[in-house]
Chain A
Amino acid sequence: DAKTTQPPSMDCAEGRAANLPCNHSTISGNEYVYWYRQIHSQGPQYIIHGLKNNETNEMASLIITEDRKSSTLILPHATLRDTAVYYCIVRGGSGNTGKLIFGQGTTLQVKP
C-alpha cells in the first residue's frame, strides 16, 4: 500500500491561502490521491481527489507534482471554519481492492 507523509500541524492566517503538503513517494501509476478533512469529532468529509492533473472544485485546489510523488492541497482563502485535521490518502492495495488507509493527517489551525 502506498503510504503518505504529512506534517503533523500547520498554522494559517484567516483570509490567506493554506497550502497543505503530502508526500506519497511510493504511489503507483493507477492510484488516486484523495483529500479529506475532519472537523472536531465528526466523520471525515471528502474534499477533492486527483490522479495526475491538477484539480479544482468549490472547496479547494489539488496540485500533484509531475512525478506524482507529492501533492499540495490549497484552501485559497482560509476561514476559521477550515480549522480541522486534513488527511491525504491514496487508494491502497494493488488492483481494484477499494482499501483506503488514512494516515495521521495535518492539524490546520486557522488564526484570526
Chain B
Amino acid sequence: NAGVTQTPKFRILKIGQSMTLQCAQDMNHNYMYWYRQDPGMGLKLIYYSVGAGITDKGEVPNGYNVSRSTTEDFPLRLELAAPSQTSVYFCASKRLQANTGELFFGEGSRLTVL
C-alpha cells in the first residue's frame, strides 16, 4: 500500500491563479480530510468527506472547493489564489469506524502564493 499520496509536493502560484491539490489513498478508507498548517501554527480543517459524493466544511473552507467522486480521491481546488493561502496542506484518511482507528496523513503539499 502506498498509503496517502499527495501531489504536487511543492508549488508556487501567482496571485489570482487556480490549482488543484491531488490526494489519493489506496486503503479503501471512507473518511478523507484536508488540513492546512501555517508556519508555527497547528492544523486547521478545511474540508472533509465521509464517503464518495459527500463533503462537508471544516473550520476554514473559504477560498477552497472539494469533490469526492470516488472513494480513493479527494482533490482540493484553490480558486483565485491569495497570499493568505500560502501554507502546507495535508491530506488524511481514516477508516469507516469514526470512533476508533487512526488518521493516516500524506507528506504534505507546500504552496506559496506570490
Residues of A within 8 A of B (CB): 30, 32, 34, 36, 41-46, 49, 51, 85, 87, 91, 96-105
Complex: chain A residue closest to B105, CB-CB: A43
Complex: chain B residue closest to A48, CB-CB: B102
Would you call the interface of chain B mostly helix, strand, loop, or mixed?
Answer: strand
Q: A98 and B107: CB pair below 8 A?
A: no
Residues of B within 8 A of A (CB): 4, 31, 33, 35, 41-45, 48, 50, 56, 58-59, 88, 90, 92, 94, 98-100, 102-108
Complex: chain A residue closest to B108, CB-CB: A43
* Chain B neighbourhood of A36, CB < 8 A: 103
Query: Taking the nearest CB of chain B, how far is it from the CB of A106, in angstroms?
Result: 10
Q: Supply 14 further A-B pairs (C-beta < 8 A) apart from A36-B103, A42-B105, A42-B107.
A: A42-B108, A43-B4, A44-B90, A91-B98, A98-B31, A98-B94, A99-B56, A99-B58, A100-B33, A100-B94, A101-B59, A102-B35, A103-B42, A104-B41
Q: B42 and A104: CB pair below 8 A?
A: yes
Query: Taking the nearest CB of chain B, how far is it from the CB of A8, in angstroms?
Result: 10
Q: A87 and B42: CB pair below 8 A?
A: yes
* Chain A neighbourhood of B35, CB < 8 A: 102
* Chain B neighbourhood of A103, CB < 8 A: 42
Complex: chain B residue closest to A102, CB-CB: B43
